[in-house]
Structure 1
Amino acid sequence: MEKLLKQYLNKIYEKTKSGDQTEGSYYSAVEDLFTDYPLEKGRKTKVTILPKKTEAGNPDFRVWDGDNFIVGYIEAKTPGINLDQVETSEQLQRYIHTFPNVILTDFYEFRLYRDGVHIDSATIARYHTAKTLKTKPTLQNIDDFERLANAFFSFKLPKSFNAESLATQLAKRTRFLRDIVFNQLEEEIPIEKGDLYNYYQAFKRYLITSLTPQSFADLYAQTITYGMFAARTRNQHEFTRKNAVEYVPHTTGILSDLFEYISYAKSEEQITVTIDDIAAVLNVADINSILDQYYKQGKGEDPIMHFYETFLNQYDPSMREKRGVYYTPESVVKYIVRSVHEILKTDFNMPDGLANKDVTLLDPAAGTLTFPAEAIKLAVETYVNKYGEGGKDNFIRKQILPNFFAFELMMAPYAIGHMKVAYLLESLGFQMKGDDAFKLYLTNTLEMDEIEKQPLPFVASLSEESHKAGEVKREPVLVILGNPPYSGTSANVNDWTEELLKTDIDGAQSYYKVDGNPLGERNPKMLQDDYVKFLRFAQWKIQKAGKGIVAMITNHAWLENPTFRGMRQSMMNTFDKIYILDLHGNSLKKETAPDGSKDENVFDIRVGTAISVFVKEKHIDQTDHMCEVYHGDLFGLRIDKYSILEKSDISKISWNQIEPNASFYLFAPLDYKRYEIYKSFHKLTDLFIVSSMGIKTHRDNFVIDIQPEKLTRRIKQFSDLDIPDDIIRQTYSLKDNRDWSMRKAREALSKNHDWQNKIMPIFYRPFDSRTFINMKELIDWPKNETMKHMRDDNIALISVRQSKTGKTWQHAFIGEGSIECCIVSAQTSEAGYVFPLYLYPDNDEPQSHLPMDGMEDVVRDKTPNIYKKVLQSLQESFGKTVTPEAFLYYVYAVLYSSIYREKYYEYLKIDFPRIPFTSDYTLFIKMAELGERLKNLHLMTSDELNEPVVRYQGQGEDIVKFRRYNEDEKRLFINENKYFENLEPEIWEYQIGGYQVLDKYLKDRSKQKLESPRHVIRIATALSKTIEIQAEIDELYPDVEKDLIEIEI
């Protein structure tokens, strides 16, 4: 050892003495030392100097046996550098937390890291001696170095990985690989050449047009890692990067091409090195034992997919939500597949169900083939049980493989799917041979254009898959099933999908029409959700085929939301039977079971889900087409839902046949007799001329503040162009969008010296006015068509078009001035609509531009925002004048009737409220007087607020540290010492829209000083008085409906 170290010191001293002190000039000395030292111990190793074009690349050296086993890595830095600082750098932290065995050195000091922890050090000489004193340094601490070197070379990867630890090791290396791929791609893009660039361009052009270099790097790295994991499951011997391709079926198109590419070292060496490291981890892991863990833990029959979820949780926990990578629970899959099997037997006269020779099946969003795999198992089981084992291979080869199809857009699930189906078929006793392949195609289901055949690298395989997928898209398919992605901001926007959604298909009308007329939705963007497009694709396929089944689990929003009424009617026009099993579990709506107990989602997501099965039988005559719609609910704990679905199919559910009513076509049970009564009332939008959503800024945290001075300071900085854009963007988390550019807004604001006069109050949340800057340069949707009327002493009714939160409807309030759209709920679907009491002429427009339908009498003075016919009808019935104020107060009182809210809850959820008008003038005025009292309380102008119902007590600071209500003491604590006393539970729990009023007000001031405890007291008093008034309204309300006025709208 001493001789080797002296030789090493001589070499680096000569370099130092010659004045050549670049890091690379010392590399050969390190290479020799770490090659010769193990030779002295009788062990052959190879030290490879790794290429590193940027700091984001690999460590400088890889120490390995030249074949499969990797000892570790060495990162070298220029002599004399402060290694303590290097140790904390992002680069080194990434190395030591990715690779388990790393040495850091400045060629004189060596530090060893094991699994990210600094475990040993050895300084063999002083750089100062060589550099400053120009003298060959004295060798020292030989034993320390030998101890460190022995520890480094004795490292071995553990063979006792469990699923969690293996996923952790793979995730670390995959993140590292992702970064290297991204940096390599960044080098290739400007010169438009290189293998990664060709891959990226092929994927971007032909599969995912929105693909960025970052997302491609992620896709590539994940595909490599999980593709190798899946290949490892088929290898029982030595596993390396070089032989991985042998375990990837040659029939898997681009996946086979990719693994041939990496196995034969055609990729960049810095990428190859990391893939080698991934292979080394997989080589020592007992994969079969790890997969068996899932069986023993009762996690089901799909271990490959379960491990993928474990891996994703380690790799990037947020990715599941971003990508829609949610493993469909096996009980859900089994229920859907068994239901299809049952319907084929009962409705299609196919006694063998999925095993019938005429069955063709497609999963258009296959992910990892969960649904097709279950269908294969059930089909094979049915065949064997009925006809015996003898013909099983022929059945799989001649029936399953040619007629079961799947599409997938993302490369990693595609790789897993191919491996999984091979794994499954082997477990069923079937060995793939020759050109046997499952027809899983890498394609965008919602894109009909096929890829032109080209000789470009990787495009040939993509093109071939595209053509095969195109044939499936064009040919009839009997069964379409699966779990399509739910994504409100769909990336699948193209002419074909737009035409598919908006054009009438023969027998299947556009989703943008209802009863032959346009939907009339102001913002029908929910129809652009991906799951809607997949359902439309499936509907289109079945309609073209003339018969078939669609069975999918999706977001359940489409069952009741008004925006989907055209979609629901269209489905009824296409199919003969529709079965809806609503699984609920919508935490956004705070759903509970009917008995008030907990209701959980079958996925780890917030939106509720439903299983929908659509059946179209072949008919010659469609003239008397009728669709039967069946509905079922499944509430409760997740485990109970799984248990029911595990044992059920469509024939075992207790169905409630419903008759979706014209106009809304709700796929939910309704009391239609009561609904007919409710429909005779008058909708808010038929009463008020002008209305719109409230202001939507898209950047509330920047343009709105509780404290005016903070807002002023932000805007002043924003308008100062001497402050760089990136500083402003990063400081205030500002993002550009389709309608707004930060740079343009800053330039515009810098020229506007009057902006401080645009800072004004905004009605932001119940009883919570804040300060905002009212400038079009900073606000995406200022809603001037309505807000221009909210001036002087004008007030406005606020309500919603639909509601999802709360067990009762409580979505009405009143406001003044500027009003924000989330005034009554933070839910997008519960946006607050503003109905001003009066309209004001626009002084900037000629008089002739003002009149519109219902506004013929507009003059330069304010006019009621109520259709003339409405007020005339009331006045003719009463024989007395009805003021606009009395009209609004009456409406407000009706909306605060607990009887009205409970009686019409199901209908209030789906559209703007409808108002019954009593023919009794005295009753009308009494209701209006109560409504006026509510108005004064809610605008905080009532004299009733002068008698507070709670008091603020305690000593110390007024910081809101928490909100803790003690029901026994009737105290609401905001910190350890300060509290509001005499607060009744019903006041504390009182809800307006989606907000628990007092809790919301205090929550928005968490960790801040409560500037006005008196305001909180006034809120509590207003709520207490509101509850009292609601009781008075409920005494009157039953008489309201006894004799109603019919108003011609």
Structure 2
Amino acid sequence: YQGWPSVLDLCAEPPTNGLMEKRGGGLIDIDQESLEKRMRAYFDPAVSWAELEALNGGLTRNAALYDARKIREQLLATEHFEPERLRRYAVRPFDTRWCYYLPLKSLWNRPRPRYWEQCWEGNAFFMTRFRSSASPEGVPCYWVTGLSDDHFLMPDNACFPVWLRRLPPPSQKNGANGVLAGMGDEPVVTANLSPSARVYLQRLQLPDPDRDAETAALLWRHALAIGFSPTYRRENADGIRQDWPRIPLPEEREVLLASAELGREIAALLDADRPVAGVTAGKIKPEWRALGVISRVGGGALDPDAGELAVTAGWGYAGKGGVTMPGKGRSEPRPLAESTPEPAYDLYLNEVAYWANVPRSVWEYSIGGYQVVKKWLSYREKTVLGRDLRLDEALYVTDLIRRLAALAALQSALDANYAAARSCPPTRSSPP
């Protein structure tokens, strides 16, 4: 394990941490409309401070190096509400919300402008962490296409962009036509790969990663596939926990390409904003069809207007400082039939509604130190969320359960892929 390159050896530019808000959730919300309403009021000089306190308490409370009233006055003089600053924001695995993003330290505690510079259409980020104290941690990596939170993975999320986009230094143009310096210069886009990673790809006779998008992403998708292998995590648990994950690099082109294809499949399953054919959209495969169906005790249709989609089973509660703490909730084991491959549970929203038939492998699936489904539910307890679930949110949990089931079903293939990658001895052309 110690002879394999770490993810830090693969990149040309070191990763950035995820964003830190520390504004009491004032800049983040599950509901886009609620966030937009708050932020329009924040940037409206006609809205008094007292009105704003009632509407957006998070941004009106002082914090370390944050004088709430003074900063609002400063921003009102220079900024205004812009709808395009409402961005998707990955808070936890499979829990993507909305944020209002301005790359200003006065507004965000840690706005990570270097991260923001690489958030553009077509780019993506391999995510992991330096070390972890979580037990169990589960999968130590993820894949996103936009902004994410510093605590997306425990303890600190590190984001490696696949591509790097930089503006070239202004050129001196003093022609008779009066062209200003720097005008017309296009951004320079290169693959985020170290010199040694490029030598490795060249050895496998792969295209130039700066000119070929698929090649640029190969090593990052390969790292994702390796990180999702249970055998990789079990065999190298101590090393993975104490430092950056190290990734075996195969010396056969076909092995790397096959691994990257698995990584692509994982990335698609992780992207909850885009449907996956056969899993969450189209004709659902038979093995997923009966999983996580929203159901009513005794049968029949649920009535959202009667409060039957309220999460009140004790999945979460507000702790000190507004931190949401997980609760025990209510999960009931299902009778184990001969045809059932593993134990399963029914997960209850309340006394009448539940998600039926959640396999144990799905219920226990952990990423970055978080038990995925349980963590999602903890934020949707009615006393935390402040409302009942909407029907689309209840159905989202069904999709989430099926995505996790599809990830669990890949484990044998991922273990075989890891075995193929580690069986290739390192060479001098591999990153150190």
TM-score (normalizing by structure 2): 0.76
Structure 1 pair 859–870 and aligned structure 2 pair: CA distance change class (3 A): farther
- 1:680-738 alpha-carbon deviations (Å, 9 max, x no partner): 11111221123110111112511100012222232234335552379729961554345
Deviations 1:234-260 (A, max 9, x none): xxxxxxxxxxxxxxxxxxxxxxxxxxx
Q: State whether residues 973 and 979 of structure 1, in contact with CA within 8 Å, keep that contact through their aligned partners in structure 2.
A: yes
Say whether the 8 Å CA contact 2:334–2:357 is kept in structure 1: no
**How many percent identity over aligned positions?**
22
CA drift at 1:835: 0.6
Corresponding residue of 1:339: none
Q: Do residues 978 (structure 1) and 353 (structure 2) align? A: yes
C-alpha offsets along residues 869-897 of structure 1, whole Å, 9 cap, x if unaligned?
31222321x23437012222111111111
Shift of 1:745: 2.1
Cα pair 2:130 2:244 within 8 Å, conserved: yes
SS in 2 for 1:879: coil
- Tell me if 1:950 matches 2:292: yes
Alignment of 1:717-756 (within 5 A): 717-720=41-44, 723-724=48-49, 728=53, 732-733=57-58, 734-751=60-77, 752-756=79-83
Alpha-carbon distance in structure 2 between the residues aligned to 1:750 and 1:730 = 17
Q: Distance in 2 between matches of 1:990 and 1:897?
A: 13
Contact 1:763 1:819 (8 Å CA) reproduced: yes
Indicate the SS of the match to 1:696.
Answer: coil
Please state whether the residue corresponding to 1:680 is helix, strand or coil: coil
* Partner Cα separation in structure 1 for residue 90 and residue 223 of structure 2: 21
Distance 2:64 2:349 in 1: 41
**What does 1:1024-1035 align with in structure 2 at a 5 Å threshold?**
1024-1035=405-416
Instruction: Give the Cα–Cα distance (whole angstroms) in 2 for the partners of residues 917 and 890 of structure 1.
Output: 9
Per-residue CA deviation, residues 977-1007 of structure 1 (Å, 9 max, x unaligned), is 1111121111112111121111111211111
In 2, are the aligned partners of 1:874 and 1:1045 still within 8 Å (CA)? no
Q: Specify the code of the residue in structure 2 equivalent to 1:908.
A: I
In structure 1, C-alpha distance between the alignment counterparts of 2:187 and 2:7, rounded to whole Å? 25
1:96-107 superposed matches below 5 A: none
Which amino acid in 2 is paired with 1:1020? I
Matches within 5 A, 1:444-593: none
Post-superposition Cα deviations, 1:519-563, rounded to whole Å, max 9, x if no partner, equal xxxxxxxxxxxxxxxxxxxxxxxxxxxxxxxxxxxxxxxxxxxxx
2:318 matches 1:966: no
The whole-number CA distance in structure 2 between the counterparts of 1:812 and 1:1004 is: 22
Counterpart of 2:389?
1010
2:3 matched residue in structure 1: 680
Report matched runs for 1:155-304 at 5 Å: none
Does the 8 Å contact 2:137/2:370 carry over to 1?
Answer: no
Given residue 796 of structure 1, which amino acid in structure 2 is its aligned partner?
Answer: F
- 1:837 equivalent to 2:162? Answer yes
The whole-number CA distance in structure 2 between the counterparts of 1:745 and 1:1002 is 34
Aligned to 1:781: 110
Q: How many angstroms does 1:860 deviate by?
A: 2.7
RMSD between aligned alpha carbons?
2.5
Corresponding residue of 2:153: 824
Distance in 2 (alpha carbons) for counterparts of 1:869 and 1:890: 16
1:806 aligned onto 2:135: yes
- Structure 2: how far apart are the matches of 1:840 and 1:944? 35
Is 2:205 aligned against 1:879? yes
Quickly say closer, same or farther: Cα 1:896–1:859, change in 2 above 3 A: farther
**Residue aligning to 1:795:** 124
1:937 to 252, 259, 269: 269
* Aligned twin of 1:1039: 420
Higher RCO (Cα < 8 Å, 6 or more apart): 2
Q: 1:887 to 1:1048 in 2, by over 3 A?
A: closer
Aligned to 1:1022: 403
Taking the aligned partners of 2:143 and 2:405, their CA distance within structure 1 comes to 17
Alignment-mate amino acid for residue 964 of structure 1? R
Q: Does 1:692 align with 2:23?
A: no
Select 1:765's aligned residue among 92, 95, 102: 92
Maintained 8 Å contact 1:824/1:831: yes
Q: Which amino acid aligns with 2:189?
A: K
Q: Which residue of 2 aligns with 1:923?
A: 255
Residues 1:811 and 1:725: Cα distance change in structure 2 (over 3 Å) = farther
Q: Distance in 1 between matches of 2:170 and 2:66?
A: 30
1:860 corresponds to 2:187: yes
Structure 1: distance between partners of 2:171 and 2:201: 29
Which residue identity is paired with 2:70? K
Q: Structure 1 997/807 Cα, relative in aligned 2: closer, same or farther at 3 Å?
A: closer
1:710 to 23, 31, 34: 34
CA deviations 1:398-434 (Å, max 9, x no partner) are xxxxxxxxxxxxxxxxxxxxxxxxxxxxxxxxxxxxx
Amino acid across the alignment from 1:1026: L
- Cα contact 1:812–1:993 (8 A) shared by 2: yes
2:52 and 2:257 map into 1 onto residues whose CA distance is 58
CA contact (8 A) 1:809 1:905 kept: no
Tell me if structure 1 keeps the 8 A contact 2:219–2:260: yes
Whole-angstrom distance in 2 between the partners of 1:1037 and 1:966? 35
SS of match in other structure, 2:25: helix
Gaps of 5+ in 2: 173-184, 210-214, 297-301, 314-328, 336-344
2:347 counterpart SS class: strand
5 Å-filtered alignment, 1:23-62, equals none
**TM superposition shift of 1:838:** 0.7
The AA in structure 1 aligned to 2:389 is: L
1:81 alignment partner in structure 2: none
Work out the CA distance in 2 between the residues paired with 1:936 and 1:896.
14
Q: Distance in 2 between matches of 1:738 and 1:966?
A: 44
Separation (CA, whole Å) in 2 of partners of 1:771 and 1:750: 22
User: Residue 909 of structure 1: SS of its match in structure 2?
Assistant: helix
Q: Select which of 811, 815, 821 maps to 2:144.
A: 815
1:308-347 alignment, distance < 5 Å: none
Q: Quick one: distance in 1 between partners of 2:152 and 2:157?
A: 6
Paired with 1:975 and 1:1032, the residues of 2 have a C-alpha distance of: 37
Structure 1 unaligned spans of 5+: 1-677, 849-857
Q: Secondary structure at the match of 1:840?
A: strand
Q: Which amino acid letter does the alignment assign opposite residue 698 of structure 1?
A: K
Aligned to 1:992: 367
Q: In the alignment, residue 121 of structure 2 is paired with which amino acid?
A: D
Q: Which SS does the other structure have where 2:362 is aligned? A: helix
Shift of the 922–1021 alpha-carbon distance from structure 1 to 2, 3 Å rule, reads same
* Code of the aligned partner of 1:689: A
Report if the CA contact (8 A) 2:137-2:367 is conserved: no
1:793-823 per-residue CA deviation (whole Å, 9 max, x = no partner) reads 2111111111111235422111111111121
- Distance, in Å, in 1 between the alignment partners of 2:171 and 2:109 is 28
Counterpart-to-counterpart distance in 2, 1:887 and 1:731: 43
Decide which structure has the larger Cα Rg and report it: 1
Which residue does 2:245 correspond to in 1? 913
Q: Matched residue of 2:358: which SS?
A: coil
Determine the structure 1 residue equivalent to 2:212: none
Tell whether the 8 Å contact from 2:230 to 2:411 is kept in structure 1 after alignment: yes
The answer to whether the Cα contact below 8 Å between 2:24 and 2:57 also exists between their aligned partners in 1 is no
Runs (4+) of structure 1 exceeding 4 A deviation are none
Instruction: Determine helix, strand or coil for the equivalent of 1:983.
Output: strand
